[in-house]
Chain A
């Protein structure tokens, strides 16, 4: 390993921009045969983007991809797979209704006479591939009958069936149990022995140090460093991941914390989270940090009545309340600005003013009958407070930009005059300017005495906005940080489950 062979694939100065966003800026990445390279970075560092460029889904705006020293382009996903690059995704893309063997060979099925499918041959080859990775799966069963771990094995067998030289594993252990993870490690060792180059993406540091030979760190779409794992410690990696130049400016806040408004005790859900308890005061911004899949959104949705917790009590202004539906939550002054704006937030197809008044119809109507003038009045009041940019209030909300749709969704909730507002990734996917406006607005809301819960995966946002932060990992609260304890390092350590160095 000390004498590095030439890389199988080498990306240099890759740049990728989306309208308004620079996702990758001149990054490099080298993958070596028979070695595992760990790609490390926060959410939004550009890891998924580079995977999509490697697999031909995105085209880079600049830079070069070299395979065996030859410059090459992947105009389509097919070209990438012809070049021997295959990816096993977080949510594996497989076909539930097809058999295991059909899943493995889809797109390159062995043909028999007359060009018909040679099922027997396909099953035989599938069996030998599955045996090769030590998977005890019958190739003729339907995929839907397999568990998530076995589906992963099928995806790996599929990767091997096209004789891949480069295997990308994007958080492969996210859905696996302990035992299955150990089996995956063995498999990775086998792949290494076969000389495959492996790109391993994970947020879990113990895994990275267990399995990887090399590392590459991205931060905010930029290349930070790479090297041999044996030459770095966890602390160094964390430092490289989060140690950023502070470029975002957050509003100056002097929190004036009032009475307790919300108290949660022992909230639990059969599969998503357990033991959640905290208290929230007027004028406070409480951050929720954690990795994707830590159960933050699931908990917030339970708090908002979308799902039902299996146990737990919720007190609002000291009174115990049972929240069975969003309507109950709204009636009790809890509102939720969801992460998925297009699907859960705005009702596209309805005009702006109707979106704003939707949860407040009780206030704008008389005995259930709509009063249009009142509706326009309410919509005007709250959209102008948010500085909405629109041609008219009668315009379909779907014709607005993402940032302005977010303003409509927030206006909709403010019009209900809530006590607690939950913002789930409030600035995800919106431009820097709108981000600053949302941050400004959050601090205004808190100053007016609203209790704010902010779920965010962006460390600067969590640090810049929160008075207090709860860190969640695997459905549990692992830390409650405040004051001097609130640093990038403590956030990442707690979220990823790293012991203090």
Chain B
């Protein structure tokens, strides 16, 4: 051992430098590019009310994506989120038939989400089943219950005050949903990046065994993450049901894949262990603006989904291709 104490610096690169080279910075460039292309190609794009409307394309999905990001970082996944929306919405609609008021309706929606999440989490953490299989199963199960209850019927007749969650504006063009989106983004950012809980999510995703050996209650953390994801699906169900004003069993079909796409586009490693909430926030804007831009140009929905698919593969392949290119040259 040397006499002079060896000094190891805290960090070598400063945070700003690191941020500039990050995935989030690249995404931001993509977002700005999409924004510019959109404003050049359609005269209707740069309109406050149109832009405000466009945010509804992603706000509800993004609320789920925040929780899903944590779940995927921990090495699990929940593919049943869209079906949770269907079940929660059905439960809310049923409650209306029994004369429930707005507060009860919202509480029921959130509670159903929470219970569904706990059901998924229990199967994964108590029985030790793989989450991808469990949630493919509950994806059919939850929506199946909705179909049994509703058949080809729809629930409607929601009270007027309930419409605020999906249709209300806080101030001018600022909708309740976009405010909720930013509040939740901030909350999840704090949870993932500034708390011990968030740190243990990263540790579990990188090495569940070593995390367990370090005294982290791995199963408990995962169970909480499933509950949180279910709860956020419940929140999305409240907003979406309020916005649509009715419940059909086919509500939010296919959303689970869009949510996962948003998370992966946001730079969350699908194998777990890394990623950030700001990435997911920017990814939400990118997907929302692409969808909106194509809508203004009257591009059919199928082309839109092709483009989103290509975008996803592109952003995942790009870093890999880049490193291969560097290796070839080096």
Contact = CB atoms under 8 A, between A and B. Distances in A.
Do A and B assemble together?
Answer: yes
B224 to A, nearest CB: 13
Given A380-B8, A389-B6, A326 B213 contact: yes
Given A349-B273, A350-B202, A358-B199, A392 B209 contact: no
B5 A384 contact: yes
A348 interface: yes
A378 to B, nearest CB: 12
B206 interface: yes
Interface stretch (B9-17, B41-49, B60-68, B79-87): B9-17
Interface string A384-396: 1001111111110
Interface string B189-222: 0100011111110110111011111111100000
Given A347-B203, A358-B203, A393 B8 contact: yes
A387 B3 CA distance: 11
B5 A338 contact: no
Contacts of B5: 384
Contact of B195 (A343, A349, A370, A412): A370
A370 B6 contact: no
Contacts of A330: 215
A393 B196 contact: no
Contacts of B196: 361-362, 365, 368-370
B1 interface: yes
A343 B213 CA distance: 10
Interface string B1-45: 100011011111000000000000000000000000000000000
Given A330-B215, A347-B207, A368-B195, A387 B8 contact: no
A336 B212 CA distance: 12
A349 B209 contact: no
Nearest to A364: B196
B203 A392 contact: no
A358 B11 contact: no
B293 to A, nearest CB: 37
A361 B199 contact: yes
A370 B194 contact: yes
B90 interface: no
Interface string A379-423: 010011001111111110000000000000000100000000000
A370 B12 CA distance: 21
B274 interface: yes
A354 B199 contact: yes
A38 B266 CA distance: 60
A122 interface: no
Interface in A221-246: none
A326 B215 contact: yes
Contacts of A388: 6, 8
A3 B120 CA distance: 72
B274 A412 contact: no
B215 A344 contact: no
Interface centre among A325, A358, A391 (most CB of B within 10 A): A358
Contacts of A329: 215
A306 interface: yes
A346 B11 contact: no
A327 interface: yes
A349 B214 contact: no
B206 A392 contact: no
Interface string A348-373: 11100110001101100100111000
A336 B213 CA distance: 8
A433 B212 CA distance: 30
A337 to B, nearest CB: 9
B191 to A, nearest CB: 10
A376 B9 CA distance: 10
A365 B197 CA distance: 11
A369 B217 contact: no
Interface string B267-311: 000000110000000000000000000000000000000000000
Contacts of A358: 199-200, 203, 211, 214-216
A345 interface: yes
Interface string B161-200: 0000000000000000000000000000010001111111
**Residue in A361, A368, A380 with the greatest tally of chain B CB atoms within 10 Å:** A361
B10 A376 contact: yes
A358 B211 CA distance: 8
Contacts of B6: 384, 387-389
Given A344-B209, A361-B199, 11 more contacts: A329-B215, A336-B213, A348-B206, A349-B274, A354-B203, A358-B200, A370-B195, A383-B8, A387-B6, A392-B11, A395-B12
5 contacts: A349-B207, A358-B211, A361-B199, A362-B196, A387-B6
